[in-house]
Structure 1
Amino acid sequence: MKTTLQVQNLTCSGCAKTISNKLSEMEGIQSVIVEKESASVSFEDQGADVASFAKQVLRQLGYPKIDDENGMLPNAKSFVSCTNGKMSL
Structure 2
Amino acid sequence: MKQTILNIQNLKCGGCANTIITRMETLEGVTEVIVNNDTHTVGFKYNTDNQLETAIALLSTLGYPVEGASNPLTKKAKSFVSCAVGRIKS
- What are structure 1's unaligned runs of at least 5 residues? none
> For the residues of structure 2 that align with 1:69 and 1:26, how far apart are their CA atoms?
23
Query: TM-score scaled to structure 2, two decimals?
Result: 0.97
Partner SS, residue 10 of structure 1? coil
Q: Percent same amino acid at aligned positions?
A: 37
CA-atom RMSD in angstroms = 0.5
Deviations along 1:5-48, one digit per CA (max 9) or x if unpaired, are: 00000010000000000011111000000001000000000111
Number of equivalent positions: 89
Runs (4+) of structure 1 exceeding 6 A deviation are none
Partner SS, residue 69 of structure 2? coil
Partner of 2:9: 8
Deviation of the 1:71 alpha carbon:
1.1
Deviation of the 1:3 alpha carbon:
1.3
Query: TM-score scaled to structure 1, two decimals?
Result: 0.98
Partner of 2:45: 44
Partner of 2:89: 88
